[in-house]
Amino acid sequence: DTAVSQTPKYLVTQMGNDKSIKCEQNLGHDTMYWYKQDSKKFLKIMFSYNNKELIINETVPNRFSPKSPDKAHLNLHINSLELGDSAVYFCASSPSNGANPFFGPGTRLLVL
Amino acid sequence: QKEVEQNSGPLSVPEGAIASLNCTYSDRGSQSFFWYRQYSGKSPELIMSIYSNGDKEDGRFTAQLNKASQYVSLLIRDSQPSDSATYLCAVSSGSARQLTFGSGTQLTVLP
């Protein structure tokens, strides 16, 4: 199936831990994104990569570090997790920068 | 700071009625406008895009754009219970064409 996939779908962890979320798209898109959706459904962009190059880096703590090994993958590593990091994290991709993104299924992160 | 504002709702309409969802944006240089639908527990999916002033129709959905008023709306005709979802307005602007989302309007269509 052509899609944007993310693993894991659910992530429950303790404060202070380090965790990673993986994302892969097989749509042949050049641009990939990470979005965060909080409990009030507000969807906010965190990072945007175009052909493995960082394009957008919104004001997020430097505990969050994206890694793009190739243009089909964009992983998100989070250090020293905090309670406020609990949210749904969506990976997305688009054919080019600024085109409407196609979203993955989301990773529901709960920090205890 | 670019802003996209929507009424959070909830908006309830009876089955078969027209649902009207509204969105305003602050950046006059915005170029592209999108409506996404998000069912509970699911990811957002694109339902409409509009780039120039006027109306754009696709089935039961009509998007309306008025750049002078910085206003974009979505009309859903003959609303169905399956239309019950949160509708997110998104606006693309800036040299990076960054997409900014509104907080969404929760729509409930009552059978």
pLDDT at position B66, please? 96
pLDDT at position A104, please? 96
* Inter-chain residue contact B101 with A44, CB threshold 8 Å: yes
What pairing do the DSSP bridges indicate for beta strands A102-103 and A87-94?
antiparallel
**Closest alpha carbon to B36 in B27, B45, B26, B28:** B45
What's the mean pLDDT in A6-22? 97
pLDDT at position B104, please? 93
What's the mean pLDDT in B52-79? 96
Could you tell me which chain A residue has the CA closest to the CA of B101?
Answer: A43
Residues of A with CB under 8 A from a CB of B: 40-45, 48, 55-56, 90, 97-106
Nearest-by-Cβ selection for B44 from A42, A43, A55: A43
**Closest alpha carbon to B26 in B94, B106, B107, B109:** B94
pLDDT at position B1, please? 65
Minimal CA separation from A111 to chain B, in Å:
18
Nearest-by-Cβ selection for B103 from A41, A45, A56: A41
C-alpha B1: how far from chain center? 20
Instruction: Give the residue from A100, A107, A108 with the most B CB atoms within 10 Å of its CB, the best one to mutate.
Output: A100
Minimal CA separation from A83 to chain B, in Å:
20
Cα(A77)–Cα(A93) distance, integer angstroms: 18
What's the mean pLDDT in A35-57? 85
Residue A2: pLDDT band by 50, 70, 90 thresholds? low
Cα(B94)–Cα(B30) distance, integer angstroms: 7
Minimal CA separation from A89 to chain B, in Å:
10
Angstrom distances, CA of residue B61 to CA of A48, B23, B49, B65, B79: 30, 15, 11, 13, 10
Any residues with CB less than 8 A from the CB of B83 and at least 6 apart, and which?
B19, B76, B107, B109
What's the mean per-residue pLDDT of chain B? 93
pLDDT at position B99, please? 85
Query: What type of residue is A7?
Result: T
Are B63 and B51 within 8 A, CB to CB?
A: no
pLDDT at position A1, please? 66
Cα(B42)–Cα(B49) distance, integer angstroms: 20
B4, burial (CB in 10 Å: exposed 0-12, middle 13-18, buried 19+): buried
pLDDT at position B36, please? 96
* Inter-chain residue contact B43 with A103, CB threshold 8 Å: yes
